[in-house]
Chain A
Amino acid sequence: DTGVSQDPRHKITKRGQNVTFRCDPISEHNRLYWYRQTLGQGPEFLTYFQNEAQLEKSRLLSDRFSAERPKGSFSTLEIQRTEQGDSAMYLCASSPGTGVFAEAFFGQGTRLTVV
């Protein structure tokens, strides 16, 4: 399978714990995005990488959230001191690094439940 891969698919954690999600983009895709989706809403932009450089972060991304993309390949999203409001589907997407107009391809997401 050469699509975007996310791990784990589901995560249940207790409030206050730290969690880390991993995303493996489509090979050779330079752009990588993290989105969050809650029930009844569309995906909300969290952050965006061009290769290893994090070019933009949403105001939604509080200081408890951090994302990395070392070496411009896979990416991790860490949430520290989780809160119940962090419960959501976390989506990763990637797109080619060339051209202005390019669609993003999404992974199947990581469903986070904070209890």
Chain B
Amino acid sequence: DQQVKQNSPSLSVQEGRISILNCDYTNSMFDYFLWYKKYPAEGPTFLISISSIKDKNEDGRFTVFLNKSAKHLSLHIVPSQPGDSAVYFCAASRGTTSGTYKYIFGTGTRLKVLA
């Protein structure tokens, strides 16, 4: 049962343009959502997060949007840079209801930013 889904396994974007990575979830009890970036042979690196009480969170070039009614979140990267090329994972947790704070990850989207 894949509770967090990233349906696009890969995405290519021209340098300077916007990258939009999407994530869908099925469990309405999730209350915290995170995006991680992963380079080969390294652990995931935290990028940005959003709680369910918000619909947008911005940090520099990265913005996460949350649409609770659609159970959908997206990560926007503007402008995209070649160094952004990596695999991006979305993750979700339901700490306020479960008390265990574990994170459920999607399968990832490989972003390639073309120079």
Which residues of A are in contact with B by a Cβ distance under 8 Å? 4, 6, 31, 33, 35, 40-45, 48, 55-56, 91, 93, 95, 100-109, 111
Contacts and interface: CB of A to CB of B under 8 A. Distances in A.
B32 A33 contact: no
A91 B101 contact: no
A4 B41 CA distance: 15
Contacts of A56: 100, 102
B43 A91 contact: yes
Size bracket, chain B contacts: 20 to 34
B92 to A, nearest CB: 11
B43 A42 contact: no
A44 B103 CA distance: 9
Interface of B: 4, 6, 31-32, 34, 36, 41-46, 49, 51, 89, 91, 95-96, 100-108
Nearest to A40: B107
B100 A48 contact: yes
Given A41-B108, A100-B32, 18 more contacts: A31-B101, A33-B103, A41-B107, A42-B91, A42-B105, A56-B102, A95-B101, A100-B95, A101-B31, A101-B95, A102-B101, A103-B46, A103-B49, A105-B46, A106-B36, A106-B44, A107-B43, A108-B41
Contact of A109 (B42, B51, B91, B107): B42
Pick from B43, B51, B89, B108 the residue with the most CB of A within 10 Å: B43
